[in-house]
Amino acid sequence: MSTLSERGRDALVARQKAAAGVSVTFTRKADGTTQTLTVIPGLATAVSTETPGRVEIAERDYLVAVAELMVGGVEYPPLLGDRFTETINGVATTFEVQTPTSGEEAVRYSSQWRSMYRCHCKRV
């Protein structure tokens, strides 16, 4: 039997996905398996001005429900090198799980409830 808090957490995840979710193809680097997920995208662009020209590195975060990446009750979080392919303005764009320029972990839980992963990615 789940607690009221757990039911509330699950309802919040479902509403977030319904309101802001997009469909992506998730590809595991280790074995090439793919699956379609509904994720919540975020965008951050790091700009470097160390060179004579402007250099932009496209970074994107994806919030992924832990439940979407479970097999037999075991969590299989995204790993470095795994990829998300999202259609943006009609163009299939691929982002790879990588350590962000801020030095944070590439994948972590997004909240204390551990119901979603925050995956830091860079466009490849």
Q: What average pLDDT is seen over the chain? A: 88
pTM (two decimals): 0.84
Rounded Cα gap, residues 81 and 28, in angstroms: 8
**Residue-by-residue DSSP string for 64-86:** EEGGGGEETTEE----TT-EEEE
Candidate from 1-5, 85-89, 117-121 with smallest mean pLDDT: 1-5
CA distances from 121 to 12, 27, 29, 107 (A): 24, 13, 14, 9
What are the residue ranges of helices labelled H in the chain?
4-20
What local confidence, expressed as pLDDT, does residue 13 receive? 85
Q: How confident is the model at residue 90 (pLDDT cuts 50, 70, 90)?
A: very high
Q: Which domain, by its residues, includes 115?
A: 4-123
Q: Which residue has the higher pLDDT, 13 or 97?
A: 97
Question: How many structural domains comprise the chain?
Answer: 1
Residue 49 has pLDDT above 60, yes or no: no
Q: Are 107 and 91 in contact (CB under 8 A)?
A: no
CA distances from 64 to 6, 20, 38, 61, 90 (A): 17, 12, 7, 10, 22
CA distances from 60 to 10, 112, 119 (A): 24, 22, 8
Rounded Cα gap, residues 109 and 97, in angstroms: 14
What local confidence, expressed as pLDDT, does residue 1 receive? 65
